[in-house]
Amino acid sequence: MVTTFFNVSQILGQLDGRGQVFLTDAQVDQLNAAITAAGAPGQLVADHAPKLVIGVVNELTAHPDSDHLHVGQVDIGQPETVQIVCGAPNVAAGQHVVVALPGAMMPTGQIIWPGALRGSIATA
Protein backbone atom coordinates (compact mmCIF):
# COMPACT_ATOMS: atom_id res chain seq x y z
CA MET A 1 0.00 0.00 0.00
CA VAL A 2 1.27 3.45 -0.88
CA THR A 3 -0.27 6.30 1.05
CA THR A 4 0.44 9.97 0.49
CA PHE A 5 -0.52 12.58 3.06
CA PHE A 6 -0.65 16.18 1.90
CA ASN A 7 -0.09 18.81 4.59
CA VAL A 8 0.76 16.10 7.11
CA SER A 9 1.65 18.82 9.63
CA GLN A 10 -2.09 19.48 9.94
CA ILE A 11 -2.45 15.94 11.29
CA LEU A 12 0.80 15.45 13.23
CA GLY A 13 1.91 18.98 13.98
CA GLN A 14 5.35 20.28 13.02
CA LEU A 15 7.86 17.59 12.04
CA ASP A 16 11.58 18.21 12.36
CA GLY A 17 14.06 17.22 9.68
CA ARG A 18 13.83 16.19 6.07
CA GLY A 19 14.12 12.87 4.28
CA GLN A 20 13.26 9.73 6.19
CA VAL A 21 11.28 10.47 9.35
CA PHE A 22 10.76 7.94 12.13
CA LEU A 23 7.27 8.23 13.57
CA THR A 24 6.19 7.28 17.06
CA ASP A 25 3.40 4.77 17.59
CA ALA A 26 1.11 7.66 18.59
CA GLN A 27 1.85 9.47 15.31
CA VAL A 28 1.10 6.30 13.32
CA ASP A 29 -2.20 6.05 15.22
CA GLN A 30 -3.01 9.65 14.21
CA LEU A 31 -2.32 8.86 10.55
CA ASN A 32 -4.43 5.70 10.74
CA ALA A 33 -7.29 7.76 12.16
CA ALA A 34 -6.96 10.11 9.15
CA ILE A 35 -7.01 7.12 6.76
CA THR A 36 -10.16 5.78 8.41
CA ALA A 37 -11.83 9.22 8.42
CA ALA A 38 -11.12 9.56 4.69
CA GLY A 39 -12.73 6.17 4.05
CA ALA A 40 -9.54 4.75 2.57
CA PRO A 41 -8.70 1.06 3.01
CA GLY A 42 -5.73 -0.24 4.98
CA GLN A 43 -3.76 0.82 8.01
CA LEU A 44 -0.14 1.78 8.58
CA VAL A 45 2.09 -0.29 10.86
CA ALA A 46 4.96 1.28 12.78
CA ASP A 47 8.30 -0.35 11.91
CA HIS A 48 10.98 0.40 14.49
CA ALA A 49 13.44 -2.28 13.34
CA PRO A 50 16.92 -1.04 12.38
CA LYS A 51 17.44 -0.58 8.65
CA LEU A 52 21.24 -0.28 8.57
CA VAL A 53 23.08 -3.20 10.19
CA ILE A 54 26.59 -4.66 10.23
CA GLY A 55 27.13 -7.95 8.42
CA VAL A 56 29.98 -10.25 7.50
CA VAL A 57 30.40 -11.29 3.87
CA ASN A 58 30.54 -15.09 3.99
CA GLU A 59 30.72 -15.67 0.24
CA LEU A 60 31.08 -13.45 -2.80
CA THR A 61 30.75 -14.49 -6.44
CA ALA A 62 30.73 -12.60 -9.71
CA HIS A 63 27.25 -11.80 -10.96
CA PRO A 64 26.53 -14.02 -13.97
CA ASP A 65 25.02 -11.19 -16.05
CA SER A 66 27.34 -8.30 -15.17
CA ASP A 67 31.00 -7.41 -15.37
CA HIS A 68 30.93 -5.24 -12.24
CA LEU A 69 28.28 -6.67 -9.87
CA HIS A 70 28.79 -9.32 -7.19
CA VAL A 71 26.34 -11.63 -5.43
CA GLY A 72 27.10 -12.02 -1.75
CA GLN A 73 25.89 -14.19 1.10
CA VAL A 74 26.01 -11.97 4.20
CA ASP A 75 25.58 -12.92 7.85
CA ILE A 76 23.62 -10.15 9.60
CA GLY A 77 23.09 -12.05 12.86
CA GLN A 78 19.76 -13.59 11.80
CA PRO A 79 19.03 -17.33 11.60
CA GLU A 80 19.62 -17.24 7.84
CA THR A 81 22.12 -15.30 5.77
CA VAL A 82 20.84 -12.72 3.30
CA GLN A 83 21.77 -12.49 -0.33
CA ILE A 84 22.79 -9.09 -1.63
CA VAL A 85 23.80 -7.75 -5.02
CA CYS A 86 26.69 -5.33 -4.68
CA GLY A 87 28.52 -3.08 -7.11
CA ALA A 88 31.38 -2.01 -4.81
CA PRO A 89 34.69 -2.96 -6.45
CA ASN A 90 36.50 -3.33 -3.12
CA VAL A 91 34.16 -5.75 -1.31
CA ALA A 92 35.57 -9.17 -0.41
CA ALA A 93 34.63 -12.28 1.54
CA GLY A 94 35.41 -11.95 5.25
CA GLN A 95 34.81 -8.20 5.39
CA HIS A 96 32.46 -6.50 7.83
CA VAL A 97 30.08 -4.32 5.82
CA VAL A 98 27.10 -2.04 6.38
CA VAL A 99 23.97 -3.69 4.99
CA ALA A 100 20.95 -1.60 4.02
CA LEU A 101 17.87 -3.71 4.77
CA PRO A 102 14.50 -3.36 3.04
CA GLY A 103 12.95 -0.05 4.11
CA ALA A 104 16.28 1.78 4.44
CA MET A 105 16.38 5.19 2.77
CA MET A 106 19.54 6.03 0.87
CA PRO A 107 20.94 9.59 0.74
CA THR A 108 19.39 9.93 -2.74
CA GLY A 109 15.94 9.32 -1.25
CA GLN A 110 15.63 5.86 -2.80
CA ILE A 111 14.20 3.13 -0.61
CA ILE A 112 15.85 -0.32 -0.50
CA TRP A 113 13.49 -3.20 -1.26
CA PRO A 114 13.94 -6.93 -1.87
CA GLY A 115 13.91 -7.84 -5.52
CA ALA A 116 15.84 -9.11 -8.50
CA LEU A 117 18.74 -7.28 -10.13
CA ARG A 118 19.67 -8.72 -13.49
CA GLY A 119 18.10 -12.01 -12.48
CA SER A 120 19.78 -12.40 -9.07
CA ILE A 121 17.50 -12.12 -6.06
CA ALA A 122 18.53 -9.64 -3.37
CA THR A 123 16.85 -10.10 -0.02
CA ALA A 124 18.61 -7.22 1.68
**Using one digit for the tens of pLDDT, what is the confidence trace for 101-122?**
988 888 887 888 887 655 555 6
What's the confidence (pLDDT) of residue 121? 56
**Using one digit for the tens of pLDDT, what is the confidence trace for 86-103?**
889 999 999 999 999 988
Q: CA torsion angle for 6, 9, 107, 104 (degrees, to 10)? A: -80
Tell me the domain boundaries of the chain. 1-48, 52-122
**Using one digit for the tens of pLDDT, what is the confidence trace for 26-78?**
999 999 999 999 888 889 888 888 999 999 999 999 988 888 899 999 999 99
What's the confidence (pLDDT) of residue 52? 93
Dist. CA 120–CA 90, nearest whole Å: 20
What's the confidence (pLDDT) of residue 64? 87
| Three-class secondary structure of residue 58 per DSSP | strand
Number of H helices, E strands in the chain: 2, 6
What's the confidence (pLDDT) of residue 119? 58
What's the confidence (pLDDT) of residue 103? 86
Assigned superfamily of 52-122: Nucleic acid-binding proteins (2.40.50.140)
